[in-house]
Amino acid sequence: MDWETWIPQAWDARKKAYAPYSNFQVGAMLVARDGRIFTGCNVENISYGLTMCAERVAIGAAVAAGATEIIAAVVVADTSEPISPCGACRQVLAEFGNPRILLVGKHGRAEFQLSELLPRASTGILDRPGEGG
């Protein structure tokens, strides 16, 4: 994993966040299986439930470009400790693989396999044990 190259790309994406309500900016960077890079930032809405997280914005960019397998992700925020993807982002990421994820804050990092953050992501109503982590 080329974290040191990818982290600045996530920070650059964070600068573009639209967060007029929370003033909480998040950036994400994804690496597709073919090596292409996709970034995203959070996009808030006055109807807060319609807010899009940085991770899902990046996934949307990847899918729109034809990439459907993600191998790595970086999520950054200007917090003391690293933040973690919300449950919805974890589930959406799981649709596109079991990426290695690096979470970065001002004073720390944490690295996980997505399946550690969301075990059994593809079981349940679809009854697909063993797929996607």
Q: Which residues are paired to 112 by β-bridges?
A: 101
Which residue in the list 4, 44, 55, 131 is annotated as catalytic? 55
- Structure-derived torsion over alpha carbons of residues 54, 57, 58, 64, reported in degrees to the nearest 10: 180
- Helices 54-64 & 3-14 angle (0-180, nearest 10): 110
Quick one: residue 67, left, alpha or beta (phi over 0 = left, psi -120 to 50 = alpha)? beta
Tokens representing 119?
A: 């075990």
Terminal C-alpha separation, the chain: 19
- Structure-derived torsion over alpha carbons of residues 99, 116, 84, 74, reported in degrees to the nearest 10: -20
> Is there a catalytic annotation at residue 55?
yes
Catalytic site positions: 55
